[in-house]
Amino acid sequence: MNNQKIVFIGGGNMGSCLIAGLIADGYSPQAIHVVDPDQLIREQLNLEYQINAHESPQQALDSAEIVVLAVKPQIMERAVNGIKSLLDLPRPLIISIAAGIRTETLAAWLEEDLPIVRTMPNTPSMVGSGASGLFATESVSTDQRGMAESVMRAVGIIQWLENESLMDAVTAVSGSGPAYFFRMMEAMEKAAVKLGLSKDQARLLTIQTAFGAAKMALESPNDPATLRVQVTSPGGTTEQALNVFDQKNIDAIFEQALSAAKIQSEKLSTDLG
């Protein structure tokens, strides 16, 4: 799909990281177009990636095969209203990366039964290590599912969802998830400083430990519970630390936290729709 015309509506952080990922994967810059009202964003993207940058969508959308809606959820309806009359043949695949906007809402705004893939990427996509949930409407063909996969895999791993309601769970787990790990790293740094390490030492040791643990979990055939047991010696230091987590019922804390995030995601979807 390296020569299929793809148009990004919005060239902000997530749009630009997808563009960078596609080009790194060998996608032709000349097949990539971006529409953004901000001149500085257009100039920067054109300079850095030699793609086609446009102020308005009229010329950009001509014969587009993929349209990526990469604007903030709060302005999505306005953005869609500005392009819906320009989505002529061939009927493009619409990929939305806006949090909280349901496919039925997008379809109503587009006023046409276009193939839509809704996706929920997360911020590590900006460093090529993202995790995205994808949901496709019935009008999305097998080839178009492959197109969506190619776009989102350019910045990380993907998981297809058969039920759109699961997108709220994806939001709670991977969408908001990076902040949970940042919060744990923040707490570890503070505790390490209280134990006598310098702030720089505490930060480097914490970040590298988090990275190493994640790498082990990715590369090992074992699940996290098994890995935990393998690195916990009976009567050792790790066991003592884990006992504190168990006493504070860390499982219940995470269950409550993710449930709160899921409920808020459902609320936002209702409000935005």
The 10s digit of each residue's pLDDT in 122-143 is: 999 999 999 999 999 999 999 9
Tell me what pLDDT residue 112 has: 84
42 and 124 fall within a common domain: yes
The reply to whether 184 and 147 lie within a common domain is no
Q: Are residues 161 and 183 in the same domain?
A: no
User: Domain boundary at 145, 170, 195, which?
Assistant: 170
Please check whether residues 107 and 233 belong to one and the same domain: no
The model's pLDDT over 238-273, given as tens digits with 9 standing for 90+, comes to 999 999 999 999 999 999 999 999 999 999 889 887
pLDDT of residue 2: 66
SS3 content of the chain, % helix, strand, coil (to 5): 60, 15, 30
Query: Which residue among 170, 201, 217 closes a domain?
Result: 170
User: Which residue ranges of the chain lie beneath pLDDT 50?
Assistant: none
Regarding whether 163 and 36 lie in a shared domain, the answer is yes
Write down the pLDDT at residue 1. Answer: 60
Q: Around Cβ 80, how many Cβ atoms within 10 Å? A: 23
Coil vs helix vs strand at 161: coil
Domain for residue 1, yes or no? no
Residues 129 and 90 in one domain: yes
Domain boundary (170, 186, 210) is at: 170
Instruction: State residue 90's pLDDT score.
Output: 74
Contacts 24+ apart (CB under 8 A), 175-183: 175/99, 175/120, 175/121, 175/122, 175/133, 175/265, 176/122, 176/261, 177/122, 177/131, 178/122, 178/123, 178/124, 180/254, 180/257, 181/210
Mean of the per-residue pLDDT values of the chain: 94
Task: Say if residue 207 is in the same domain as residue 117.
Answer: no
DSSP-assigned beta bridge partners for residue 130: 156
Write the DSSP symbol of residue 165: G
CATH code: domain of residue 63:
3.40.50.720
Domain with 133 in it:
6-170
What tokens does 65 get? Answer: 């095969």
